[in-house]
Structure 1
């Protein structure tokens, strides 16, 4: 993998740290990163792959790096093809007060692995709401797409576990409003919009 792939994922002020991360970890893979999505942070375009195919054992080397370099590594590996790796990595950035972590967190809401979505919802109070608001203001189309995916994945995979409820009928269990990604969107909308 070329260093440009990683550099394009993060704001340019992190270039020196990205170079250190790139030299510390082995990003070789038989498969190229795939389906990138574009977002902006402080009017700078970022291009983040939907999936990467790197050896997750490289993450052990992050302990030798600075906290910001570790965060870069965890954010990048939150795009990993293995959902367990994505979850493990995204959990490492919930308490990081940096704008550049937000697209990595928000993107995972629009995916189907409910364990990841639950971990994001549980960490909602640790994620800087002003950074989320700034991200949404700068990327309304992307946020709308994530919003649509949340409801699509609920409909495809979780409709039976979190059913719609009928008017004037008290639900006997979880409903669509209890689906973690929908709860997080409602949390965002009530706290940032």
Structure 2
């Protein structure tokens, strides 16, 4: 898990990554290789899934704020949708570029409750001048291939699992978030 975590964050966060990873409950399964994204010109590889469980809440008492956010980001990639949802609720309000790919990738997944958390949590993406519009817009503009894949995944999951509830793709929360991200990206093109 350590190697996967180190690749997911900027090198200057190495010490905090080490602190965070040490607290994860080990798994016999290796993380599933992820996806490459550019965050402010630096390439990161975000794991697609991790199988390590969260530490007990008391174990996190000694973590600094950055290490805690790193741990929370990693847990947004957990195999359990319940865990992913709990931890995206924690990181979505964090104003840091390296958090953005962990949030955006969730829009291309199938758990509607997580997508709703992202939709509500990223309401600021639609407002000019907000940190969310700036950070998420830049990430979207810098990662066109990743965004195409995320849109394709969102449309596929909508068609398979959510079309009955949202007859038009444009009414699907994942599509709404992606449209807001595309609008924010226009500020950076």
- TM beyond 0.5: yes
Answer whether contact 1:8 1:46 (CA < 8 A) is retained: yes
Answer whether contact 1:39 1:139 (CA < 8 A) is retained: yes
Match of 2:157? Answer: 153
Tell me if 1:130 matches 2:123: no
Shift in Å at residue 59 of structure 1? 5.5
Equivalences for residues 4-153 of structure 1 within 5 A: 4-23=3-22, 25-58=23-56, 60-126=58-124, 128-153=132-157
Match of 1:182 among 168, 175, 178: 175
Shift in Å at residue 126 of structure 1? 4.9
Deviations 1:18-74 (A, max 9, x none): 122233x03421111013111111222111111100122445523431111111000
Point out the structure with the larger helix share. Answer: 2
Q: Number of aligned residue pairs: give it.
A: 180
**CA distance in 2: counterparts of 1:48 and 1:186, whole angstroms:** 23
**CA distance in 2: counterparts of 1:5 and 1:160, whole angstroms:** 37
Answer whether contact 1:39 1:103 (CA < 8 A) is retained: yes
Structure 2: give runs of 5+ residues left out of the alignment. Answer: 126-131
TM-score, normalising length: structure 2: 0.88
For residues 60 and 158 of structure 1, do their structure 2 counterparts lie closer, same or farther at Cα, with a shift above 3 Å needed?
Answer: farther
For residues 91 and 155 of structure 1, do their structure 2 counterparts lie closer, same or farther at Cα, with a shift above 3 Å needed?
Answer: same
**CA distance in 1: counterparts of 2:176 and 2:58, whole angstroms:** 33
**CA distance in 1: counterparts of 2:184 and 2:51, whole angstroms:** 35
TM-score, normalising length: structure 1: 0.87
RMSD, aligned α-carbons: 1.6
Q: Secondary structure at 1:56's aligned position in 2?
A: coil
**CA distance in 1: counterparts of 2:124 and 2:65, whole angstroms:** 17
**CA distance in 1: counterparts of 2:41 and 2:83, whole angstroms:** 30
Answer whether contact 2:141 2:185 (CA < 8 A) is retained: no
Q: Secondary structure at 1:161's aligned position in 2?
A: coil
Answer whether contact 2:100 2:139 (CA < 8 A) is retained: yes
Answer whether contact 2:24 2:55 (CA < 8 A) is retained: no
Q: Secondary structure at 1:8's aligned position in 2?
A: helix
**CA distance in 2: counterparts of 1:50 and 1:144, whole angstroms:** 17
Deviations 1:127-149 (A, max 9, x none): 61111122122211001110111
